[in-house]
Amino acid sequence: MAKNIKISPSRVSAYKVLSEVLMTGAYSNIALTKHLASIKIEADRRLCTNIVHGVIKKINKLEYVLSTLSNTPVNELDERVKISLYIGLYQIIYLNKIPEYAIVNDSVNLVKMFVGKKASGFVNGILRNALRKKHELKEIEFSDFFDIMYYEYGFKRALSEKLLLSYSKEELIEYAKYSILPPNVTLRVNKLKTNREELKNRFKEKGFEVRDTFVPEGIEVLSHLNVTLLEEYKKGLFSIQDCAGMVVAHSLDVKEDMKVLDMCAAPGGKSMHTSELMNNSGDIVSCDIYTKKLEIMNFRMKQLGINNIMTKKLDGTIFNECYMNTFDRIICDVPCSGLGVIRRKPEILIYYSNEKIEELKKVQRQILENGIRYLKKGGVLIYSTCTINKEENEDIVYSILKEHEDIKLNEINLPFEFDYDKAKAKEGILNISGDKNNIDSFFIAKLTKI
């Protein structure tokens, strides 16, 4: 790695994040959190995040553009060189206020720093050519539906074909457009320590712009800031959680002093929200397979003042006889394809495959089967995912219902209003459309043992 090269910290961090995501399979949200910590200026943090999300969301289009500019086939280029070029091309095509010299110089210097001086001339030539053709590149359009979904929005043909079994082309285009938008920042007020009005007033006194969400304990932050650095976060006055995730605990219809199981708990938002709705009473067992994630949960619970949750390392796919017919309420928020949270984790589209869906469906079904066995008679189980793929949602639930005569769907009653199919919710099925509510997309099914 070359030394004494000056580059904007936002682009250096963006390169590091993209390298981890595209070359080692890291999650962008986790990699961003790690590398943004070294950036002190908020504007640089925003630019870094913009570049990372933008490159990942537009990587197919950027690869196509690069193929028109490079005499060397794209698949023969060094991955590190491609990442530097994608960073430059994304800014040239999609960001209008950044000086052209800064785009080219920093991309060239990134290659010098992380690859070597030899490749810098190639990068310089490609980007200067791109600047000459900037208007032409900005006007590249596709007419075929599958090309639009792939190049403009990142949806592979196999995924588009699968989703077309459940949605129209128009619905998918609208959802894809929404998926490339920046995610909003939503907080869940910890009512064990404060209330929404008090927390909003604290933010407004600091000059932050916030507004209410449809969930009564939600606050959307409109100002650009890292909320985890605020004293209110460290004191446990709020957690970061999207409104769609908050709907899960409300759907559970939990009461004080109940015994609750969260089968796939980490990072813990639904467990902790349930605890707050129970006023820190009863008993919640929050399970996950990762020790480190459970340790983070324990630390966060102390900050929030929660003491009714016991974390436990447990694989939800493995039946635990000790839990048989034990719990009043169960949260079964299973691993899924994540197609409802593309705004936050755009790399989901890069690594999508039909084979992975088949593997996930087996895991989802096994976890739900075990959850049903853990549920008391008269108890309620919430099966939820953050995907729009019906194979992981309705299909799993209806197949389980056919095999368990003692399990039925139960009406979902919510104490707030937003855009959803109330007739389906009355039947026990809730599809939360992110693009209609400016939130993540979620699926929720409410099951009862009779």
Q: How far apart are CA 7 and CA 323, in angstroms?
A: 56
Annotation says 386 is catalytic: yes
DSSP of 50-106, one letter per residue? HHHHHHHHTHHHHHHHHHHH-SS-GGGS-HHHHHHHHHHHHHHHH-SSS-HHHHHHH
Strands (E), 161-237: 185-189, 210-212, 218-221
Helix (H), strand (E) at residue 422: helix 422-427
* Binding site, annotated residues: 264-270, 288, 315, 333
Note the residue count of the chain: 450
* Catalytic residue (one of 243, 287, 332, 386): 386
User: Residue for token digits 């001339």?
Assistant: 121
Q: How far apart are CA 19 and CA 52, in angstroms?
A: 10
With beta carbons less than 8 A apart as the criterion, state whether 266 and 279 touch. no
DSSP conformation class of 322: G
Q: How far apart are CA 285 and CA 263, in angstroms?
A: 8
The three-state (H, E, C) secondary structure of 249-309, written as one string: HHHCCCCCCCEEEECCCCCCHHHHHHHHHCCCCCEEEEEECCHHHHHHHHHHHHHHCCCCE
Phi, psi at residue 139, to the nearest 5°?
A: -95, 5
End-to-end Cα spacing for the chain:
65
* Binding site, annotated residues for S-adenosyl-L-methionine: 264-270, 288, 315, 333
With beta carbons less than 8 A apart as the criterion, state whether 54 and 94 touch. yes
Active site residues: 386
